[in-house]
Amino acid sequence: MIMSKGRNGYELMGGSLIYKLMGVIFVLNLKIIRLLEVKYKMAKLVSFLYKLARRANDVETLASGNPKRIAKRGKNKVIGRKIMKKLLK
């Protein structure tokens, strides 16, 4: 396309340069949105893995059959929940 000097800067023949820039900005916004979606999916995966690790620790504790260890795990879970409730209020 041929560029010409207009009143407000350079213009394309048959259209303004601003419309081309708006198109580029639109494409960049789409790419940013896709990156954020990937980060969101990654955060969900990490959250799932942490939950899975906590469950595995519960199962391991129960499978050990050690009453002291089971009681300690239960006590710590109850204390942790109470503290979190107070922090989130």
The half-sphere exposure of 63 on its side-chain side, counting CA atoms within 13 A, is 6
**pTM tops 0.75, yes or no:** no
- The answer to whether the beta carbons of residues 61 and 69 sit under 8 Å apart is yes
Domain count, the chain: 1
Query: pLDDT (tens digit, 0 to 9) for every residue of the chain, 89 residues total?
Result: 445 555 555 555 555 666 677 777 877 888 888 888 888 888 888 899 999 999 998 899 989 899 999 999 999 999 988 888 888 77
Which structural domain range is residue 25 located in? Answer: 3-88
The half-sphere exposure of 47 on its side-chain side, counting CA atoms within 13 A, is 6
Which pair of structure tokens corresponds to residue 75? 């006590």
Residue ranges with strand state E in the chain: 3-6, 9-12, 15-16
CA–CA distances in Å: residue 63 to residues 10, 29, 40, 68, 83: 74, 51, 35, 13, 27
